[in-house]
Amino acid sequence: MHMGSRITAETSACSAEIFTKKVAGSSKDWKAGEPVPYAALAEVFERIDSTTKRLEIAEYLTTFLTNVITRTPGDLVKVIYLCINRIAPDYEGLELGIGEGMLKKAIAQATGVNVNHINAEYKKAGDLGLVAMNSRATQATLFKPKALTVNHVFNKLREIAKTTGASSQTKKVGSINGLLAACQGQEAKFIIRSCEGKLRIGLAEQTVLGSLAHATVYARHAQESKKVSSDRIAKELEEASKTLKTVFSECPNYDLVIPPLLEGGTELLREKIRITPGIPLKPMLAKPTKAISEVLDRFEGKKFTCEYKYDGERAQVHFADGKLSVFSRNSEDMSVKYPDLIEHMQKCIKPNTQSFVLDAEAVAWDKDEHKILPFQELSKRKRKDVKAEDIKVKVHIFAFDLLYLNGESLLKKDLEHRRELLREHFTPVEGQFAFAKSRDIYAVEEIQAFLDESIQDSCEGLMVKMMEGDDATYEPSRRSLNWLKLKKDYLAGVGDSFDLVVIGGYHGRGKRTSVYGAFLLACYDPESESYQAITKIGTGFSEEMLESHYKFLHPLEIPNKKPYYDLGDAKPDVFFEPKVVWEVLAADLSLSPVYSAAKGLIETRGVSLRFPRFIRIRDDKDPDDASNSEFVAEAYQRQVVASGGGGKGKKKGGGEDGGDGFW
Ligand code: AMP
């Protein structure tokens, strides 16, 4: 958020040069009309990797993208996909994520080095990309292979991801081998990392979007070659960045967004790209609050509403041309997991409703007792091959928002209006579909009473939302102050829960030698694309739970820590692939000499969770959707304020650093 303006100030100051500047010192240039060489992109990746300064990262990328737009605009979509390390829109579910074993095989074949040697090198370097690059360097080349282009690399990666069936392994190894054989310099490092599904150069998607927006502005001015004041450029850059980010959160698909952007800049983009049924939007999220008084600080004197906060899974339901589909919070297509949800929805659509996008919570439902079941019941359900007749735990939809109706976006309408349309266009069906229970409230006591009611009805608490005016619009992808969540746990003095990635394990002792006795958890830092250790959790597990965690985690054990695990001083016995996300509650947070979570955001030390308690497995969340370091820092700051500390970085709670409460 502050990023945008900082980039703007900085880049506008050097705008005149950037129009015409080549990538400074680049040896990997290309001419207008020629395909973008992969070496040029690899060089930009290398530069980005060599700095942690966000402004520098953004500037390298902006300059490069400006060159792509002015010289080879047809390659822009593929360049962007390679930068964010994807090969298709998120919601298409097409992923690379090729396993280590297969990559080692391909490296061995391409370089003539045997797999044992590769294993040994991998142990030392901890990065298969580096191993591939260094193995190449030792191999004599008989003839110079044809230089790789962005177009070729991207097409190959997509082909690899799409390869399925009997001999798919051999085919994939063959294709990777082919790419590696043509690599020069540092290219192999990034090809391998792309295959792994993680670039790890500290390039966040928001930065890519910002640079892309800026590059379109620069490219246009370069082509017009008219003199423009730096104030005007600064304004244009800021607006372009804002518009592109907004449009992208409504339609997260570069194949659709980039063509109008190239044709007519962000103005045409805003005009042409609208929310579209079938393409999931990034959902709006809520800020946590610790007390009812905090709700009043924000909403007093305004028209607001309280809704039950149902404890299930977010479901964004889309409907157009007679086809229904449902997407998860991470934009995954869940239509196959929920055939019953699709069936239920059909009955609730009124005849005047031709197309819509609806926001809702899908909850496990006990149809005999007519009540909500715990969230876990739903997560037991298979993700694929689900037949409606085999389903035991029924799903109930509680709809709370309407984002699109009959060809029109409702995002800019206020909640009062959206809710009215929602109620007008759908019919509740007993035990299957209802509107989220809500109450428009004025006094504190009423909030408390409604909160108690929600808990009795098996909900997590309340969502408090602005109803009227500009603050009541739907803000895709934003954790907004216009939606506050109030959970019963907060009122018990316990903070918000954290969704954390299990990155390490500690062998059990005594009776527990055959399982892990404790686990190392991490939050995610999107800037550095690393997992930062935050706490060790080892109490509160039953023997049964430990056994089941062991069964699940043991196959995910890896010999070394990943290069992108920032452990601080934590020393687990084993490491895991970053796959499993757990929701955890903590008694409080404290600054820590041991853990690295959110380091640098409050002070140089990281933050740790004290007395963590396991709540549940979050299999609806990917590891990169775990609580991020900013969230951890915010939770720490809130706690400092709540305890009356006020000062930045002031430590709350008993126990000296490294003492009581640290694991
Ligand atoms: P959290 O996951 O704790 O950040 O809480 C936000 C989530 O609560 C949303 O992503 C929804 O899945 C869920 N939720 C349940 N009921 C509601 C509601 N009435 N309004 C908005 N979100 C809700």
Q: How far is the CA of 42 from the centre of ligand 1 (A)?
A: 40
Q: Determine the 3-state secondary structure of 287 from DSSP.
A: strand
Cα–Cα distance, 604 to 222 (Å, whole number)? 42
Query: Is the separation of the CB atoms in 51 and 14 below 8 Å?
Result: no
Residue 540, Ramachandran bin (φ over 0: left; ψ between -120 and 50: alpha; else beta): left
State the average pLDDT over residues 76-105: 92
User: Which residue intervals of 402-477 are DSSP H helices?
Assistant: 415-425, 444-456
Largest CA distance in the chain: 81
How far is the C-alpha of 535 from the C-alpha of 549, rounded, in Å? 17
Per-residue pLDDT band at 383 (split at 50, 70, 90): low
Query: What is the C-alpha R_g of the chain?
Result: 26
Per residue in 301-316, pLDDT (tens digit) is: 788 999 999 999 999 9
Nearest-angstrom CA–CA distance, 311 and 289: 17
Closest C-alpha among 474, 471, 342 to residue 402: 474
Q: Say how far apart CA 200 and CA 214 lie, in whole Å.
A: 23
CA of 231 to the centre of ligand 1 (A): 41
Q: What is the mean pLDDT of residues 53-75?
A: 95
At 650, phi and psi to the nearest 5? -70, 140
Average pLDDT over residues 366-378: 83
Q: Note if 124 is an active site residue.
A: no
Q: What are phi and psi of 92, to 5 degrees?
A: -80, -10
CA distance 107 to 308: 54
Q: Which of 34-43, 153-162, 167-176 has the lowest mean pLDDT?
A: 167-176
Q: Which residue has its alpha carbon closest to ligand 1 atom 23?
A: 309
Q: Which of 198, 309, 485, 487 is catalytic?
A: 309
Predicted local confidence at residue 19, as pLDDT: 45
DSSP state of 349: B
Q: How far apart are CA 330 and CA 622, in angstroms?
A: 8
pLDDT at 145 over 80: no
Closest ligand 1 atom to residue 438 Cα is 19
Average pLDDT over residues 208-225: 93
**How many C-alpha atoms does 262 have within 13 Å on its Cβ side?**
19
8 Å CB contact between 567 and 596: yes
Comparing C-alpha atoms, which of 476, 465, 485 is closest to residue 284? 476
> What pLDDT does 242 receive?
95
Q: Global pTM?
A: 0.77
Which residue has the least CA distance to atom 22 on ligand 1?
309
What is the DSSP code string of 597-612?
TTTTTSSSSEEEEES-
- The answer to whether 81 and 157 have CB atoms below 8 angstroms apart is no
Q: Which atom of ligand 1 is nearest to the CA of 284?
A: 10
Q: How far apart are CA 65 and CA 58, in angstroms?
A: 10
Between 42 and 612, the more confident residue is 42
Average the pLDDT over 141-168 and give the result: 88
Helix (H, G, I), strand (E, B) or coil at 294: helix
309 CA distance to ligand 1 centroid (A)? 6
Which long-range CB contacts under 8 A does 642-647 form with residues at least 24 apart? 642/290, 642/291
Query: Which of 437, 399, 571, 576 has its CA nearest to residue 504?
Result: 576
Which ranges of 96-204 does DSSP label H, i.e. alpha helix?
A: 100-111, 115-125, 128-138, 150-162, 168-181, 187-196
As a whole number of angstroms, the distance between CA 233 and CA 239 comes to 10
Distance CA(224)–CA(216), nearest Å, equals: 12
Mean pLDDT (whole number) for 240-268: 95
DSSP code at position 512: G
Give the residues surrounding ligand 1 with Cβ less than 6 Å away: 285-286, 307-310, 314, 329, 361, 400, 436, 463, 485
> How big is the CA angle at 653 (ends 650 and 659), to the nearest 5 degrees?
100
* Residues in Cβ contact with 617 at an 8 Å cutoff, skipping those fewer than 6 apart: 379, 580, 581, 582, 583
Average pLDDT, the chain: 86
> pLDDT tens, 315-362?
999 999 999 999 999 898 999 888 889 999 999 999 999 999 999 999
Question: Which of 289, 306, 309 gets mutated to test ligand 1 (max ligand atoms within 8 A of its CB)?
Answer: 309
For residue 136, give the amino acid letter. R
Helical pair 187-196 and 150-162, crossing angle rounded to 10 deg? 30
- What per-residue confidence (pLDDT) applies to 660? 25
Q: Is the pLDDT of residue 628 over 50?
A: yes
Which residue in the block uniquely carries the two structure tokens 């391998």?
192
Encoded tokens for 644:
């009356």
Question: What is the structure's pLDDT at 26?
Answer: 53
286 C-alpha to ligand 1 centroid (Å)? 7
Any idea how long the chain is? 663
- The mean per-residue pLDDT over the stretch 466-486 comes to 93
The string over 158-183, giving b where at least 16 C-beta atoms fall within 10 Å of a residue's C-beta and e elsewhere, is bebbeeeeeeeeeebbebbbebbbbb
For position 542, what pLDDT does the model report?
84
* The pLDDT of residue 401 is above 50: yes
Model confidence at 139: pLDDT above 70: no
